[in-house]
Chain A
């Protein structure tokens, strides 16, 4: 009985002490200078990032010790991050409390930045840049992408500029006597040949869905022209119109023939990349950010020299053309008005001037900024993509770019069902259109 009593006392004492200690410690960490909109805000340039994106953060950090050290002296860079899954929620909560950081990733869908902008909380970056005499800091292709995304306004910074298209395995093409397809029909013929030879034509990340709907979107742009999806967004056309359904039908046909491989809905991003880089699939639709993986010799078993890039092919008789590359600006950054002071202004100027070169040099990431100065050695494949961007005058967006967040989620979650035959092309377009109509 005595021992029992003592043991219990020990446990209670232990727990009590542990709690007291932990409370003390957490009280201490509570006083750390992470707090809200106090006077310290003026001396800091706060950046909120996707936890998953480290390249922007690293570029900012190198800028703060290099080209932007004067801005840094005025407003110290402070980086925080939130995982992508909780990011939109986090931005909403902060915006609701008027506690947005100086500069921040604009969220998982363009709608978030549009909402914040409509509440008047964002810096008009385009106007600020022209005041500084830096109108041409953002390259034309990136500017047109931003304007297409954000109703003709420029209130975000293109810290990435990606073009999208089909990467192909040169060796597999040569072995099967395939020329780089120039039209959709050529592409389907090439896939037929590959499949007959026992090679999986495409690898695709069906789990995330967007690599599949990208094909639908591109087809629409090629067959109906660059303004086809803007028409859907403004209501003058419907996805259920037969010429739009045709695009879903074409992609579903590829799926029905098994050209994306078995169980495409369970293939995740890394598996899809790996299938292509192991030579198990001949083609891979992806954006130019993938170059980072291609340049990693351990992941890339087919070799960089063996990879070619082709724009999404034209559709015969279509209103669009293959040189209208699909493009995006990654996760563009927005700046909050309430924290736009002299320090933030200096930072903006410095970012506009130096971000592009720094990012390319350190991270190998192509941005939408004009690149000045020495950027060091760039891998050949990266260089060729950059050349392609330089000659591009008109870009198109992706399928969901102008949709409401709800319609884009529906589109992406149903994509794998479209290619496995779980829903018909008509049903697919109907479901997405229904969510668009619901607003």
Chain B
């Protein structure tokens, strides 16, 4: 039977189309762009070979340091928050709401549907402090707390960004994880219930181990998405105040296209790609250890 599952012609027919498209449209341009890391200039004025100068710059550039620090902090916090929220919702759908979860699931997914432009505008208004008092500050005022200028300091702007992105993506992660949870065989759950497991214990001892593969892909997907956050930042804070909420992607985009330094921009992109790779491998490693333990 391994003979049939190893049929080379079938493998080729199934894999070749995807691999071709992927290689031509993603891999080739990526390698092409990485080639530019050794050059200076842009498409208008042409490229000059500069060796490793771009990488040296990478280590001394204060903007890179700031953007890298923001990106890493943001990705870690947001990944934890959005996967946890999504998992909580998915558990809610599967074990509490069960068949009735349809409506809630539909609604919780709704923020994913909204264009980023709209979400940015919405959160700007929710957290507005002047000239009008937005709903959030209004609520604070009710409790006698003074209005906070949310976008005026990097710390508060950071947390509003986290909140906005969690709100936007929790429904998405819930659906992603739901598809994994729903496949857990019922007899396994029943057996555990008969053994007296219920509530949190049931989740910890039965559900969590079984949904670990899907959870793992959600975490990997989330961290790779959050490390590359771009348009939400652009829509909500535009990297501000100052450049304190500027992620690497935004700095890379500005460098490549607004500042006309495509080679250096590619070096920043390479840095980001390596970062994603390292983090993903790290998660893989630690997850494999957990899986073998369980």
With A409-B254, A416-B240: A265-B44 Cβ-Cβ less than 8 Å: no
A261 and B243 form a contact (CB under 8 A): no
| Minimum Cβ distance to chain A for residue B68 (Å) | 17
Asked whether any CB of chain B lies closer than 8 Å to the CB of A26, the reply is: no
A410 and B44 form a contact (CB under 8 A): no
A405 and B149 form a contact (CB under 8 A): no
Asked whether any CB of chain A lies closer than 8 Å to the CB of B37, the reply is: no
CB-defined contacts of B101 to chain A, threshold 8 Å: none
CB-defined contacts of A414 to chain B, threshold 8 Å: 242-243
B243 and A413 form a contact (CB under 8 A): yes
B260 and A115 form a contact (CB under 8 A): yes
| Minimum Cβ distance to chain A for residue B1 (Å) | 26
In the complex, A420→B241 CA distance in Å?
10
Asked whether any CB of chain B lies closer than 8 Å to the CB of A231, the reply is: no
B45 and A265 form a contact (CB under 8 A): no
Closest to B149 in A: A263
Q: Using an 8 Å CB-CB cutoff, how does the interface string of B210-240 with A read, 1 for contact, 0 for none?
A: 0000000000000000000000000000111
CB-defined contacts of A89 to chain B, threshold 8 Å: 256-258
| Minimum Cβ distance to chain B for residue A420 (Å) | 6
CB-defined contacts of B42 to chain A, threshold 8 Å: 92, 96, 115
Asked whether any CB of chain A lies closer than 8 Å to the CB of B259, the reply is: yes
A409 and B258 form a contact (CB under 8 A): yes
Q: Kindly list the 6 A-B residue pairs having the minimum CB-CB distance in the complex, ordered from nearest.
A: A96-B43, A89-B257, A262-B130, A263-B130, A263-B149, A95-B44
CB-defined contacts of B259 to chain A, threshold 8 Å: 404-406, 409
- 18 sampled A-B residue pairs with Cβ under 8 A: A88-B258, A89-B258, A92-B262, A96-B42, A96-B44, A115-B45, A119-B44, A263-B149, A265-B152, A265-B241, A266-B124, A266-B130, A267-B131, A405-B258, A409-B254, A410-B243, A420-B241, A422-B242
Closest to A86 in B: B257
CB-defined contacts of B239 to chain A, threshold 8 Å: 413
Partner of A93, one of B43, B62, B240, B254: B43
A92 and B260 form a contact (CB under 8 A): yes
Q: Using an 8 Å CB-CB cutoff, how does the interface string of B102-137 with A read, 1 for contact, 0 for none?
A: 000000000000000000000010001111000000
A261 and B258 form a contact (CB under 8 A): no
A420 and B152 form a contact (CB under 8 A): yes
Asked whether any CB of chain B lies closer than 8 Å to the CB of A434, the reply is: yes
B131 and A207 form a contact (CB under 8 A): no
| Minimum Cβ distance to chain A for residue B282 (Å) | 33
Q: Using an 8 Å CB-CB cutoff, how does the interface string of A268-298 with B read, 1 for contact, 0 for none?
A: 0001000100001000000000000000000
Closest to A100 in B: B44
CB-defined contacts of A265 to chain B, threshold 8 Å: 149, 151-152, 240-241
With A108-B258, A119-B46: A266-B151 Cβ-Cβ less than 8 Å: yes
CB-defined contacts of A261 to chain B, threshold 8 Å: 130-131
Asked whether any CB of chain A lies closer than 8 Å to the CB of B153, the reply is: yes
Asked whether any CB of chain B lies closer than 8 Å to the CB of A112, the reply is: yes
Closest to B46 in A: A119
In the complex, A115→B124 CA distance in Å?
37
Residues of B within 8 A of A (CB): 42-46, 62, 124, 128-131, 149-153, 238-243, 254-260, 262
Asked whether any CB of chain B lies closer than 8 Å to the CB of A300, the reply is: no
CB-defined contacts of A422 to chain B, threshold 8 Å: 152-153, 241-242
B45 and A119 form a contact (CB under 8 A): yes
In the complex, A83→B232 CA distance in Å?
18
CB-defined contacts of A171 to chain B, threshold 8 Å: none
| Minimum Cβ distance to chain B for residue A139 (Å) | 30
CB-defined contacts of B46 to chain A, threshold 8 Å: 119
A109 and B258 form a contact (CB under 8 A): yes
| Minimum Cβ distance to chain A for residue B253 (Å) | 8
Besides A263-B151, A414-B243, 19 other A-B contacts (C-beta < 8 A) = A92-B260, A96-B43, A96-B44, A109-B258, A119-B45, A261-B131, A265-B152, A265-B241, A266-B128, A266-B150, A271-B131, A404-B259, A405-B259, A406-B254, A406-B255, A406-B259, A410-B243, A413-B238, A414-B242
- The total of interchain contacts (Cβ-Cβ below 8 angstroms) comes to 98
Asked whether any CB of chain B lies closer than 8 Å to the CB of A417, the reply is: yes
Residues of A within 8 A of B (CB): 88-89, 91-93, 95-97, 108-109, 111-112, 115-116, 118-119, 207, 261-263, 265-267, 271, 275, 280, 404-406, 409-410, 413-414, 416-417, 420, 422-423, 434
With A95-B44, A207-B238: A266-B129 Cβ-Cβ less than 8 Å: yes
A92 and B44 form a contact (CB under 8 A): yes
In the complex, A89→B262 CA distance in Å?
11
With A414-B242, A422-B153: A88-B257 Cβ-Cβ less than 8 Å: yes
CB-defined contacts of A423 to chain B, threshold 8 Å: 242
In the complex, A410→B150 CA distance in Å?
21
Which of A404, A417, A434 has most chain B Cβ within 10 Å? Answer: A417
In the complex, A119→B152 CA distance in Å?
42
| Minimum Cβ distance to chain A for residue B135 (Å) | 15
CB-defined contacts of A116 to chain B, threshold 8 Å: 44
In the complex, A263→B151 CA distance in Å?
8
| Minimum Cβ distance to chain A for residue B157 (Å) | 9
| Minimum Cβ distance to chain B for residue A227 (Å) | 26
| Minimum Cβ distance to chain A for residue B158 (Å) | 14
B260 and A112 form a contact (CB under 8 A): yes
CB-defined contacts of A95 to chain B, threshold 8 Å: 43-44
Partner of A263, one of B129, B242, B243: B129
CB-defined contacts of A410 to chain B, threshold 8 Å: 243
Closest to A115 in B: B44
CB-defined contacts of B242 to chain A, threshold 8 Å: 413-414, 416-417, 422-423
Closest to A109 in B: B258
CB-defined contacts of A88 to chain B, threshold 8 Å: 257-258
In the complex, A410→B238 CA distance in Å?
12
| Minimum Cβ distance to chain A for residue B39 (Å) | 13
| Minimum Cβ distance to chain A for residue B263 (Å) | 13
CB-defined contacts of A97 to chain B, threshold 8 Å: 43
CB-defined contacts of B149 to chain A, threshold 8 Å: 262-263, 265-266
CB-defined contacts of A263 to chain B, threshold 8 Å: 129-130, 149, 151-152
In the complex, A292→B67 CA distance in Å?
39
Closest to B43 in A: A96
Closest to B255 in A: A406
CB-defined contacts of B124 to chain A, threshold 8 Å: 266
